[in-house]
Structure 1
Amino acid sequence: MIADHLPKSIYGFTLSSLREYLLERGFAKYAADQIYRWIYRHQDLDYSSWSNVAKKIKQHASEQWSFQLPKIIRQQLSSDGTVKFLFEMQDLKSVEAVVIPAKDRLTLCLSTQVGCAIGCTFCNTATQGFERNLTAAEMVGQLLTINRWLGQQRPDSMQVSNIVYMGQGEPLQNLPQVKIATTIFMEPLGFGISQRKITLSTSGLVAGIEQLKDFPPVNIALSLHSPFDQVRSSLMPINRAHSLEDVLQAIKSLPLKAHRSITYEYLLIKGINDRMEDVQELVRILDHTTSKINLIRYNQFPGSSYQAPSDQQMIWFRDQLISRGLVCTNRASKGEDIMAACGQLKSAQQN
């Protein structure tokens, strides 16, 4: 646990909560807008230089707020341009985050927990176990630190434009803090990232999915990985508590607000979930949906007994689904050479 006596992190305030905080202490609430611009637009964390902020507020900031960001312990560059960051938090716990480049966007794969409790057998993070939830401030800190790093190390690069909650941890087990972080990411006076450019991934916690009805209407990605309960339970122990039928029903009951999309993530593993019967059952359970399947090649890690499918098998599986009316794409695995691809993140050895 992070010590309660530490100064309150400024990065944990939504704009509305910062306005309320200032008003309760006798300060002008519009100062919250000024502070947000300084921190997130100008990336200026030196409150003494905030020229339009009242002196009393800057004094309060020096006494009551922490401006400490996650510390970059290491960054690794992949041959495809992907960058993996190892962050150290104030309590010396560490997490990994990944920046994935594309022609028209720069995506941050964000962690929500130190480790993970879900225990998926195909995931390297599962071998680490669960240590604690991250705070909203620590999630915001990952993005702000990376944007500042980009500004200093790659001044010609664009800033992060997309967020995917697909790093370490199950976001729905930390939903209150994830909701705060998402609100901060979307704030126009702050990062200003559109809800259409934020994706929340889940292994399928039914109670958490039901709570998404009151969550900002970001994109949702369900880790599916098998259409059969027995196989899915062997890959994802969480399926024993939440059957696939219950998970799909919860997903389908979500109100599809403007711009929210549902994606089914399917990690293709040789000899496990790549057969014709898998194709046929996927078509049966996902028929009449407007959602798409994201097909991902299994990424190996030390100690794993699973194998990746061939390129031909990836193409065959995709084409079989498409020919039966489902929307399916093969997602390129980036950062595999630095253990930054889907299912490869782990920071336990650094802790």
Structure 2
Amino acid sequence: MEQDRESLHNLIKKRGEPAYRADQLWQWIWRKKAGDFQEMTNISKALRSSLQQEFVLQPPAVVQKKEGIDGTVKLLLGLDDRLCIETVIIPEKGYYTQCISTQVGCPMGCVFCSTGGMGFKRNLTPGEIASQVLVAGRHLEDKGLDSTRLTNVVLMGMGEPLLNWDAVHRALGMMTDPLGLGLSRRRLTLSTVGIKDRLQEFGRSRLGMLAVSLHAPDQELRRRLMPGAAAWDIKDLISALEKYPLAPRERITIEYVLLKDTNDSPAQARDLVRLLSRVKCKVNLLACNPGEQAGWQPPEEQAVQAFEELLRSRGLTVTLRKSKGQDISAACGQLAAD
């Protein structure tokens, strides 16, 4: 499942098969979710048998399932080397959003994030990234639900996507391919702390929308909260966001997790307004989800509302994200491949 469509065409061409065979195979894998070459009834038996001897179609295995009271589902997926990752299916009004992982663990070390507490194990391959969507689709079908309503995918699970950019780039191509999963780039969101040079590469690729995990209005606090991310000075990051390529109606999402008595004061809200004054963006606020990283708590509801209202009063577009899946440790910052 590591072949992209171009390399699959080359593979089929070397076998002396007509070019359209590659497209047929591609559709069987990504659209029809075939788990075995023998299911591909419009492919010759000889070719099916030959491919089966050399390639494996099996996506990561579901080791464990947890379902929250709000319908959120967390799947623990086992990889070939016995490491595990997590992916989350989130029910919305009329559709599903899936949160997928790009690394096993994460090297960024954000102090309030359970994934950061795992440390970094390895990068995922393109197939391991994209096939999480196949696994989620099969889960929905097994439950008698419509997998075509899985329309939104966010790269906000375990890992920093831009530190695995080559694999993520190929995986995004697999997910947006019109003969495959056919996801809209406007419904694919990549969440990053901001990796110099890779940020611009993602922007040029036009393969998804950008979300930036900021979580602090100044460099000193960001270094305390996000030691790995602070390698790129916050002023330089903001300067890059000001120049980031966007279509007329597109905006960057700025993610800001509110931590009690840490980054939630009115003064810090005003600093955030000044910092983002020239960035074409919207701010997505989320009160901290309690996790295994001890010592971090969400602010009181009144403090959250005051922070939100101050940003809004200064002209920023703000959404307050409702946390889902907290009871099964599936919410933002809680993934730890438990």
How does the TM-score come out when normalised to structure 2? 0.96
Amino acid at match of 2:323: S
Find out whether 1:29 has 2:19 as its counterpart. yes
Alpha-carbon distance between aligned partners in 2 of 1:291 and 1:212, rounded to the nearest angstrom = 17
Find out whether 1:75 has 2:65 as its counterpart. yes
Output the aligned Cα RMSD.
Answer: 1.6
Is contact 1:71–1:88 with CA below 8 Å preserved after alignment? yes
User: What is the match of residue 233 of structure 2?
Assistant: 243
Is contact 1:217–1:257 with CA below 8 Å preserved after alignment? no
- 1:324 pairs, out of 288, 296, 314, with 314
User: What is the match of residue 188 of structure 2?
Assistant: 198
Amino acid at match of 1:334: K
Find out whether 1:341 has 2:331 as its counterpart. yes
Alpha-carbon distance between aligned partners in 2 of 1:156 and 1:220, rounded to the nearest angstrom = 27
Q: Secondary structure at the match of 1:237?
A: coil
Mark the CA change 1:24 to 1:261 in structure 2 (over 3 Å): closer, same or farther: farther
Alpha-carbon distance between aligned partners in 1 of 2:144 and 2:241, rounded to the nearest angstrom = 40
Alpha-carbon distance between aligned partners in 2 of 1:191 and 1:13, rounded to the nearest angstrom = 14
Amino acid at match of 1:263: T
Shift of 1:146: 1.4
Q: Secondary structure at the match of 2:62?
A: strand
- Written as runs of structure 1 = structure 2, the 5 A alignment for 1:115-126 is 115-126=105-116
Shift of 1:165: 0.4
Find out whether 1:160 has 2:160 as its counterpart. no
Q: Mean alpha-carbon deviation: is it higher for 67-76 or for 157-166?
A: 157-166
- 1:226 pairs, out of 196, 203, 216, with 216
Alpha-carbon distance between aligned partners in 1 of 2:186 and 2:39, rounded to the nearest angstrom = 34
User: What is the match of residue 289 of structure 1?
Assistant: 279
User: What is the match of residue 6 of structure 1?
Assistant: none
Q: Deviations over 1:127-169 (max 9, x none)?
A: 1110000001111221111111211123356542111000000
Is contact 1:217–1:259 with CA below 8 Å preserved after alignment? no
User: What is the match of residue 297 of structure 2?
Assistant: 307
Alpha-carbon distance between aligned partners in 2 of 1:185 and 1:309, rounded to the nearest angstrom = 37
Q: Secondary structure at the match of 1:264?
A: strand
Is contact 1:96–1:345 with CA below 8 Å preserved after alignment? yes
Q: Secondary structure at the match of 1:267?
A: strand
User: What is the match of residue 3 of structure 1?
Assistant: none
Between the two proteins, the alignment pairs up a number of residues equal to 338
Is contact 1:267–1:298 with CA below 8 Å preserved after alignment? yes
- 1:98 pairs, out of 88, 95, 103, with 88
Alpha-carbon distance between aligned partners in 2 of 1:18 and 1:213, rounded to the nearest angstrom = 26
Amino acid at match of 2:158: Q
Amino acid at match of 1:270: K
Mark the CA change 1:96 to 1:255 in structure 2 (over 3 Å): closer, same or farther: same
Amino acid at match of 1:318: E
Shift of 1:14: 2.0
Amino acid at match of 1:296: L
Shift of 1:259: 6.4
Shift of 1:260: 4.7
- Written as runs of structure 1 = structure 2, the 5 A alignment for 1:179-218 is 179-218=169-208
User: What is the match of residue 64 of structure 1?
Assistant: 54
Alpha-carbon distance between aligned partners in 2 of 1:141 and 1:316, rounded to the nearest angstrom = 41
Q: Secondary structure at the match of 1:295?
A: strand
Find out whether 1:274 has 2:264 as its counterpart. yes
Q: Secondary structure at the match of 2:150?
A: coil
* Runs of 5+ unmatched residues, structure 1: 1-10
Alpha-carbon distance between aligned partners in 1 of 2:45 and 2:7, rounded to the nearest angstrom = 21
Is contact 2:113–2:293 with CA below 8 Å preserved after alignment? no
Q: Mean alpha-carbon deviation: is it higher for 63-72 or for 50-59?
A: 50-59
Alpha-carbon distance between aligned partners in 1 of 2:145 and 2:276, rounded to the nearest angstrom = 44
Mark the CA change 1:69 to 1:157 in structure 2 (over 3 Å): closer, same or farther: closer
- 1:50 pairs, out of 25, 36, 40, with 40
Percent identity between the two aligned chains: 38
Q: Mean alpha-carbon deviation: is it higher for 49-58 or for 98-107?
A: 49-58
Amino acid at match of 1:309: P
Alpha-carbon distance between aligned partners in 1 of 2:58 and 2:248, rounded to the nearest angstrom = 36
* Runs of 5+ unmatched residues, structure 2: none
Is contact 1:217–1:260 with CA below 8 Å preserved after alignment? no
Is contact 2:112–2:293 with CA below 8 Å preserved after alignment? no
Shift of 1:257: 3.8
Mark the CA change 1:194 to 1:303 in structure 2 (over 3 Å): closer, same or farther: closer
Shift of 1:314: 1.5
Find out whether 1:262 has 2:252 as its counterpart. yes
